[in-house]
Amino acid sequence: MHDDRSLVEARLNRVLDERIRPAVYPESVPLEVAVWNAPGEPVPVAEGLAASPGPIAVGDMWGAPWGTSWFRVTGTVPAAWAGKTVEAILDLGFDENMPGFQCEGLVHRPDGTPVKGLNPRNQWVRIGAPVEGGEEVRLHIEAASNPVILDYHPFLPTQLGDKETAGTDPQYTLTRMDLAVFDETVWQLVLDLEVLGELMQELPVEGARRWDILRAVGHALDAIDLQDVNGSAAAARSCLEGVLSTPAGPSAHRISAIGHAHIDSAWLWPLRETVRKVARTTSNMTALLEDEPEFIFTMSQAQQFAWIKEHRPEVYAKVKKAVAQGRFVPAGGMWVESDTNMPGSEAMARQFVHGKRFFLDEFGIENDEAWLPDTFGFAAGLPQIIKAAGCKWLLTQKISWSQTNKFPHHTFQWEGIDGTRIFTHFPPVDTYNCSMRGSEIAHAAKNFKDKGVAKHSLAPTGWGDGGGGTTREMVAKAARLRDLDGSATVRWETPTEFFTKAEAEYPNAPVWVGELYLELHRATLTSQAKTKQGNRRSEHLLREAELWAATAAVRTGFPYPYEELDRIWKTVLLHQFHDILPGSSIAWVHREAEKTYRAVAEELNGIIDGAQRALAGDGSGTLVFNSAPHERHGVAAGGAGVAAVGGSAQLSPREDGGFVLDNGLLQVEIDGRGLVTSAYDIGAERETVAPGRVANLLQIHPDFPNMWDAWDVDAFYRNTVTDLTDADELTPVVAGTSAAVRVVRSFGDSKVTQLLTLPAGAKRLDIDTEVDWHETEKFLKMSFPLDIHAERYASETQFGHFHRATHTNTSWEAAKFEACNHRFVHLEEPGWGIALVNDSTYGHDVTRTVRAADSGTTTTLRVSLLRAPRFPDPETDQGVHRFRHALVPGAAIGDAVREGFRINLPERRVAGDAAVTPLVTVDNDAVVISAVKLADDASGDVVVRLYESRGGRARVGVTAGFDAVEAAATDLLERPSADAPRLELADGAVKLTLRPFQLVTLRLARSRT
């Protein structure tokens, strides 16, 4: 037989494009259109409906950036269309190649009832099926003219990312506003041919199935009358029945499809626009659920449900109804799909506390899965947090974006730092916006790495980020793929149904130990420094507010601010979303975040001040409040008293210029350039700085990644570096009992001022850095070349620390050229170590070289301070920034933990004489209390969260400083843990034995008398 395959395939494409698809709507009449442009920010629906619109016509421009236009469309269904299905086609000027990321609309009836969203691949509204003819049509469209930020030429700097700079020129052309007859038979034919044509392209040419489909498609095309597609569509469909009904083989891959519309809680749009994106999408999805009985939709992020509840209760009512039916599935159990690298221990825990509690309170649903398809890598401390929240599964997809190494599994057990394992799945479809294309389904089956031992994978299906979610076309394709020879099978299933099947078929899934590092988007650890500082400081202010408010409530009857703390936590958690905290959103988002963090700090400082004043009494003395988890200057952890500080530090000139600082524990030499040439541990007789090198060296690199400017730093940035060694000023500073040197440098259009301080009685060098930053596409680092031989180093993560290699033996290690830490990085030889602690930075790199002179190892630790990408915010990080770091020679890992808390939780001095004993104490410094608070149920019980911080076993006594009558181990939601042993409370104390990095939450009941 002659090979006519290419001929038939090309014929299929042209006939579909030019004849069959246009015949889906064979008849149409124009609607009348009028528009009202809302001034400023979006208005309530009632106001938009009541406004008086002016004239506009198809072909006219509309929509200033970030504006809202209310379109009124009216018309009459022709009498001749009686008995037919009629839809309104409402094209606001969509680009169908960009589902999401542009204008969107939400259609309302005249009474304000939402109908459905309008999106590039979803422009229809059903009028009647069938119609009687003569019906009057009146619809209102709330249209958002969001600008296109990520265009066909992506990453170009743009001022469109903030309404203050975006201008007022209209952006979109009103394209079509019609009533049209919908021919369902032709529409079904389109889906038949698309599914078969796409499947055919994925099958082997030498296989019989491909040729069976080709012949059937050829017959169907022969049956089409190109001058009467609507009259011949049924005949063409009959030619395809045989190939569409051939069942899949028993070895076919099994895909669980789940309706999905991943909506970033902010990204290339502000938070206020996400509220409307969610309303449009959920209106679409509740309507589709009513039309498609097998379809199931899932949505994560409790915050997004809360937004609908608050702003669009009529939409929320539909959502709640669909949730009750089991068709609209709240997923993930987190407040938002947060970043997981940078949020601190408590914040990561509270993501689950607030998310799960919302779903329980609103829907009675207990989530078993964490749902994070788009998060930029996963910290090694996360598995035990997931488990402590009562979850057991994790879904993500983003790891497939890694540039260097292909992750070896799609289904596996992920083991965290404490040994907890979580059953985890990466969908091999490699997208969380699956559209049921044949290429996607085939890729999932071919790509699945666990073939032979497992068959199931998940496919999140639908357009996200304003694309409107799953479409009726996707549902129709899934129906054809339910059991189709040559294809993976597709079923609509909930996350629980998928994970239950996947876990059952793969009981011995392979184990991956440690972080799930994304080999991409590494610069998100540094971009938008003020957002990151706001997050870190908010986390620690929340710790203080809970601790002192709880202490004051128990000791003095101070009113515990339950509602205020709940609201503030949710605000902070929202801003940990994976495009806010990572610094990858538009200028508007980060401008608002900075303002929000200032308000959060003001309110929390007010709570702290009120509680501490209630505790301190009215005396004339001065009390030091210590909110850190370790004693400081004689003041107990979580207590207040009179601080005792002894000793002093001396400053003297250095022979070759510069100064020597000495406090009897540490001797630091600073040369005439303001660089640290020596940090000598006097007791250990050990030098910190590598021979011939200088520390506190600021270095600047060009920073122009190949793509994803705010997200990425590519390895080649290291090829060019400028050391900032020239000092404009070097001045000794009198600072009480401390010795300090002030250094000023200028470079480019920027200026750096540093204060290097050696405090009395402490073996550390404090480094306060102020940068007035006005560079573009540059990367600023601070370097510490250390005389230490270490094959690995520790960086703090949630509830512990994680070790990474200092070498690059493998491509996996080489790819980690920029990594995340929380409060500290620690390097150690047996018996001696070094810590570098910080108050607000996350990104760092560690490299090692061997010196030719003495064969010693220089291990260089560099802190990432600032970047200056131009997309999506062209003014990223411009302005003044302040950072605090401390170099701690001779530090063991426990010292790193202690100093990390110290720099983030400064002592507070309050007038008063009433010393405060801690509400809760522990008798082992290896065990850290991460939270002391009153129980969320307002019972008055005290909740204490603690963890083993050094990576070893720990026996610890936990003692209540109040009349505790009962102690229980709980989950993160403060519910009794089913698998926890019963705790004995003796003399107000509980004895625990913790494994390395184990997290424990205790609930201490108070006497009610």
Q: Say if CB 231 and CB 225 are below 8 A apart.
A: yes
Q: Quick one: which of 850, 840, 839, 769 has its CA closest to 806? A: 850
Query: What distance in Å separates the CA atoms of residue 318 and residue 142, rounded to the nearest whole number?
Result: 19
Phi then psi dihedrals of residue 893, to 5 deg:
-65, -35
Prior bond to 872 cis, omega within 30?
Answer: yes
* Pairing verdict, β 297-299 and 369-371: unpaired
Whether 374 is catalytic: yes
In sequence order, the β-bridge partners of residue 109 are none
Q: What are phi and psi of 314, to 5 degrees?
A: -70, -35
At which residue do the structure tokens 């915050």 appear?
303
What contacts 982, CB < 8 A, 6 or more positions away? Answer: none
Question: What are 126's strand-pairing partners?
Answer: 87
SS3 (DSSP) at 107:
strand
Place of tokens 């149409």: 28
Phi, psi of 641 (to 5 degrees): -170, -165
The answer to whether 441 and 252 are in contact (CB under 8 A) is no
Q: How big is the chain, counted in residues?
A: 1009
- 459 with 256: CB under 8 angstroms? yes
Angle at 637 between CA 632 and CA 643, to 5 degrees: 35
User: How far apart, in Å, are the Cα atoms of 421 and each of 376, 417, 459, 621, 974?
Assistant: 20, 10, 23, 52, 22
Burial 84-117 (b: 16+ CB within 10 A, else e): bbbbbbbbbbbeeebbbbbbbbbbbeeeeebbbb
The residue among 733, 704, 731 whose CA lies nearest residue 716 is 704
Answer whether 395's CB lies under 8 Å from 382's CB: no
The tokens for 54 are: 């002016």
* Contact predicate 487/481, CB 8 Å: yes
Strands 511-513 and 411-415: parallel
Three-state helix/strand/coil letters over 48-105: HHHCCCEECCCCCEECCCCEEEEEEEEEECCHHHCCCCEEEEEECCCCCCCCCCCCEE
Beta-bridge partner residues of 326: none
Residue 431 near residue 547, CB atoms below 8 Å = no
SS3 912: coil
Query: Which is catalytic among the residues 162, 178, 192, 374?
Result: 374
The CA R_g of the chain, rounded to the nearest whole Å, is 31
Beta pairing class for 824-829 and 254-259: unpaired
Alpha carbon distance 950, 915 (integer Å):
31
Angle between helices 345-363 and 313-324 (to 10 degrees): 80
Q: Which two tokens stand for residue 160?
A: 């469109």
DSSP H or E segment with residue 8: helix 5-15
Between CA 110 and CA 512 the distance in angstroms is 55
The Cα-based distances of 812 to 807, 809, 887 in angstroms read 11, 8, 29
d(CA 660, CA 679): 10
Q: Which two tokens stand for residue 843?
A: 């990104």
639-641: strand order across its sheet:
639-641, 622-626, 908-911
State how far the Cα of 272 lies from the Cα of 277, in Å rounded to an integer: 9
Kindly list the catalytic residues: 374
